């Protein structure tokens, strides 16, 4: 069975603090994909990053960084020097590719509030 | 931004009435998906389509049907709406070409069933 756990339901930080959002996944597939999406208060889902299961390189994009560790089945997301605009719900997702289409399994999301 | 629109964006209906939500894409992507988003559950897949007239069930398909007669349109129908189907519905698309398997989402439809 596939499962994604985001144990942190809500996080509040003061602006300019660093914050890490945790994501733990379960799958028996050897090939899978991991994603992070951002859902700002306006409601749309914004794609942030995609990772293949065979690519464990960490990635940095501006103030965002992602730490993928297969040994612990985790794909954590860190925001450095947080800003008010980072306030949103963040979803981690696991994607697998059966014969037809891609199936995504989402975590329940972490609501981040950045306090000015 | 991926060209995905959903209509209507908001709808209030009564229990027992049929409801159809429409997803329209301009990206010519082969794969389309319907999700529902509920507090404490994240997003859950209802149905998806892997081509015109080719559809399959997702995790929470009971009470829903879908149709895809054209590449650009994917319809979600609630044959007889129930209050448990009050939710925000998102459509997504993906182009199944390596390495791009990312799903891009529409703006969502907020459905309230009274």
Q: Using one digit for the tens of pLDDT, what is the confidence trace for A19-48? A: 999 999 999 888 888 999 999 999 999 999
Cα–Cα dist A53/B101, whole Å: 13
CB contact under 8 A, B101 and A100: no
Mean pLDDT for B26-52 is 92
Cα–Cα dist B96/A25, whole Å: 23
Read off the pLDDT band of B97 (50, 70, 90).
very low
Read off the pLDDT band of B41 (50, 70, 90).
confident
In the predicted structure, residue B99 carries a pLDDT above the cut 60: no
Residue A107: list chain B partners with CB under 8 A.
42
CB contact under 8 A, A50 and B102: yes
* pLDDT > 70 in chain B, percent: 94
| Token output for A82 | 């947080």
Q: Could you check whether the bond before residue A84 is cis, i.e. omega within 30 degrees of 0?
A: no
| Token output for A31 | 């090939």
Question: Please, what is the average pLDDT of chain A?
Answer: 91
pLDDT of residue B98: 46
Strands of A40-109 (E only): list them.
46-52, 59-61, 64-69, 74-79, 88-96, 103-106
> pLDDT tens digit string along A54-94?
888 888 889 999 999 999 999 999 999 999 999 999 999 99
User: Sign of the C-alpha dihedral, residues B58, B32, B87, A34?
Assistant: positive
In the predicted structure, residue A11 carries a pLDDT above the cut 70: yes
pLDDT of residue B4: 95
Q: Which residues of A touch B (CB under 8 A)?
A: 4, 6, 33, 35, 37, 43-45, 47, 50, 52, 91, 93, 95, 97, 100-104, 106-109
Half-sphere exposure of B100 (CA within 13 A, CB side): 9
> For chain B, what is the radius of gyration of the CA atoms?
13
Mean pLDDT for B18-38 is 95
Cα–Cα dist A8/A25, whole Å: 14
Question: Please, what is the average pLDDT of chain B?
Answer: 92
Cα–Cα dist A95/B48, whole Å: 14
Task: Report the gap between the CA of A3 and the closest CA in chain B (Å).
Answer: 12
Cα–Cα dist A23/A68, whole Å: 10
Residue B44: list chain A partners with CB under 8 A.
106
In the predicted structure, residue B88 carries a pLDDT above the cut 70: yes
User: Of A54, A33, A22, A52, nearest to A103 (Cα)?
Assistant: A33
Which of helix, strand or coil describes residue B17?
A: coil
């Amino acid at each position: 069975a596939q499962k994604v756990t985001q144990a942190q339901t809500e996080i509040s930080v003061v602006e300019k603090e660093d914050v890490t959002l945790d994501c733990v996944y379960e799958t028996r597939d050897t090939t899978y994909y991991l994603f992070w999406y951002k859902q700002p208060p306006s409601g749309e889902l914004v794609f942030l990053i995609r990772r293949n299961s065979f690519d464990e390189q960490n990635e940095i994009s501006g103030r965002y960084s992602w730490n993928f560790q297969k040994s612990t089945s985790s794909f954590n997301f860190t925001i450095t020097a947080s800003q008010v605009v980072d306030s949103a719900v963040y979803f981690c997702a696991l994607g697998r590719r059966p014969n037809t289409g891609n199936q995504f399994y989402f975590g329940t999301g972490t609501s981040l509030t950045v306090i000015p | 931004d991926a060209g995905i629109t959903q209509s209507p964006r908001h709808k209030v209906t009564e229990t027992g009435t049929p409801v159809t939500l429409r997803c329209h894409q301009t990206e010519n992507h082969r794969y389309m998906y319907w999700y529902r988003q509920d507090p404490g559950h994240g997003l859950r897949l209802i149905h998806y389509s892997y081509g015109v007239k080719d559809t399959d069930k997702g995790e929470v398909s009971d009470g829903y049907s879908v149709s895809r007669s054209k590449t650009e349109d994917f319809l979600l129908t609630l044959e007889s709406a129930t209050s448990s189907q009050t939710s925000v519905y998102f459509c997504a698309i993906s182009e199944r070409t390596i390495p791009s398997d990312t799903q891009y989402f529409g703006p969502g439809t907020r459905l309230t069933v009274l």
